[in-house]
Amino acid sequence: MIKEENYLKKIADSCLTQSKKLGSSDANVVVMNSISESVNIRNKQLDGSERSDNLAITLTTYIGKKKASIASSNLNENNINKLVNRCVEATKITPEDEYNSLPEKELHYFGNKDLQLYDDTYIDNEKKIEFIKKAEEQAFKNKNIINTNGSGFSQNKSNFILANTNGFMDGYKTSQFTAYCEVVSKRNGSMERDYEFTSKRFFSDLIKPEKIGKNAAKYAVNKLNPKKIKSEKLSLIFDKRISKNFLSNFASSISSSSIAKGTTFLKNKINNQIFNKQINIVDRGDILKGNGSKYFDSEGIKIDNLELVKDGILKDYLVDSYNGKKIDRKSNGRSSGTTNLYFKKGDVSFNDLIKSEKKLLYINETIGRGANIITGDYSVGASGIMIENGEFAYPVSEITIAGNFHEMFKNIILADDLEFKYSTNSPTMLISGMTVGGK
């Protein structure tokens, strides 16, 4: 069982009291417990089971504008006292930073809405195995599936308390159920792998195992016997698995830390047209059961709903209180990053999108971290499927795709198939004018 609120509060409280006693002017502490249980299977047989029980504290102490932190998983009282002492001592010798401080009280979250982030359902290991076996069984019905890379089911429950010496003390339980199935296909000497995955706050919302297995098999088989193509400029269609990554790149580019340091190509671009007019980007933390939903951020600050991009125009940054002070903006509750970040859906159907040009390349996998948010340069390895006259023609692999976010962002066209599968989500996306590197 995960630790209850009172247990966590007691530890948090004693850390804060001890910090004050030892001379810190302010302090912030997080006490977290999470228990995760998972099973892995391979070729429909149990491969392993894992149980992990993590309990840890993270304490930050301030003396005026000086700050230092400690973290530990050893919560023996004696050890905690030693650590608090070490933290305060480290604070004393750390140089002052004028922007260091607890957040303003007025920004603290307080409320009592229920975002439905915790499902008390307990799935024991036998049920986990049964669930994920069904997925593999379904995958093996496809005759080109010869092996699995492993499939798994995990259940994660956690509870935490965040407290600071300005009177904030709150926390909540969350749960996450995740299942994945990864299979290997083979035909005429070509071997490929692919997967399907589902992850939800509530067990009952997971994609059904049969569908997971069926999709994994379909994706792996679709990649078989790929061709290599010649280098050329092409319009690319990005599968939803990939298109969401551009949102993550965008989010890093508008984080207040990147803006404050100037290490982003989107500095000073507020109220500028950076996407075309059809593009709208939203980040909201209050979606019921949302994978990215949160009540407050890691500083205890309430999370505003943000329209980051409206009609293609950049309207806001992701601001935490430290970096916010550097750029003269109040925190909007993003010290732990984005929440549920998504592109609002476009108005073209998937079928119309793939028919929009005679020749399009559908990208369903990229490898490598080729996004540079300082320059906006983008270059990654990729594989996908060539689309000719609106029909999926043949798989393509071992290519690179490259461009620059400045132009790429302006050339995005979105389909209307947005779904909330991850915490960051995008519809299928077309970007014209990209460079494909091949033979």
Partner 1 sequence: MSEFFKNSEIELSKAEKIVSETLKNCDDGELYLEDTKSETIVLDDNKIKSSDYSTDLGYGFRAVTGDIIAYSHSNEISEKSLLNSSQNLKSSLKNKRGTYNYEIKNTNQKFYSNIDPVEEKSLKSKIDILREINNYARSKDSSVKQVTANFIGEKKNVEILRAGGQLLNDERPLVRFNVSIMVEKFGKKETGVYGVGGRQSYDVYLNDNNWKKVCDEAFRIATTNLDSKPSPAGEMKVVLGPGWPAILIHEAVGHGLEGDFNRKKTSVFHDLVGQKVASESVTIIDDGTLDNRRGSLNIDDEGTPTEKTVLIENGILKNFMQDRLNARLMNTKSTGNGRRESYKHIIMPRMRNTIMLNGNNTQDEMIKSVNKGIFAVSFGGGQVDITSGKFVFNCTEAYEINNGKIGSPLKGATLIGDGPSSLKEILMVGNDMMLDPGIGTCGKAGQGVPVGVGQPSLLIDKMTVGGTQI
Which C-beta is closer to partner 1: that of 161 or that of 380?
380
In the complex, what is the shortest distance from the CB of residue 233 to partner 1, in angstroms, rounded to a whole number? 7
CA distances from 220 to 19, 96, 395, 403 (A): 55, 55, 11, 27
* Smallest distance, partner 1 to C-beta of residue 208, A: 25
Residue whose tokens read 């671009």 = 269
Q: Which residues pair with 382 in a beta bridge?
A: 366, 399
> How far from 106 is each of 167, 300, 301, 302, CA to CA, in Å?
11, 11, 9, 10
Tokens of 293: 């939903």
Cβ 33 to partner 1 shortest distance, Å? 10
Element of type H or E holding 343:
strand 340-343
Taking the complex as a whole, the smallest distance from the CB of residue 121 to partner 1 amounts, in Å, to 19
- Spatial strand order of the sheet with 424-425 comes to 313-314, 306-310, 281-284, 340-343, 424-425
H/E element, 258: helix 256-261
CA dist., res. 78 & res. 256, Å (int): 38
Give strand pairing partners of 334. Answer: none
Token representation of residue 298: 């890691």
Which CB, 3 or 302, lies closer to partner 1?
Answer: 3
* Cβ 399 to partner 1 shortest distance, Å: 7
Rounded to a whole number of angstroms, the minimum distance from the CB of residue 161 to partner 1 is: 17
CA distances from 423 to 81, 201, 247, 294 (A): 38, 11, 11, 11
Kindly state the smallest distance separating residue 287's Cβ from partner 1, in Å: 26
C-beta of 67 vs 240, nearer to partner 1: 67
Match 């508008």 to its residue by tokens.
254
Nearer to partner 1, 281 or 399 (CB): 399
Alpha-carbon distance 107 to 357, whole Å? 49
Shorter beta-carbon distance to partner 1: residue 210 or 377:
377
Closer to partner 1 by Cβ: residue 39 or 353: 39
327-333, long-range: CB < 8 A, 24+ apart? 327/256, 327/259, 327/260, 329/256, 330/104, 330/107, 331/103, 331/107, 331/297, 331/299, 331/301, 332/303, 332/304, 332/306, 333/107, 333/109, 333/285, 333/296, 333/297, 333/301, 333/302, 333/303, 333/304
Between 194 and 297, CB nearer to partner 1: 194
Minimum CB–partner distance for residue 210 and partner 1 (Å): 24
CA distances from 90 to 17, 57, 64, 100 (A): 18, 17, 13, 15
Beta bridge partners of 377: 404
Nearer to partner 1, 109 or 177 (CB): 177
Diameter of the chain measured on Cα atoms: 73
CB of 60 to partner 1, least distance (A): 9
Shortest Cβ 434–partner 1 spacing (Å): 9
CB of 305 to partner 1, least distance (A): 29
CB closer to partner 1 out of 74 and 121: 74
Give whichever of 23 and 48 is closer to partner 1, judged by the CB atom.
48
- State phi, psi for 209 to the nearest 5 degrees: -55, -40
Taking the CB of residue 139, how many other CB atoms lie within 10 A of it?
A: 30
What are the DSSP E strand ranges found in 269-338? Answer: 281-284, 306-310, 313-314
Which CB sits closer to partner 1, 184 or 282? 184
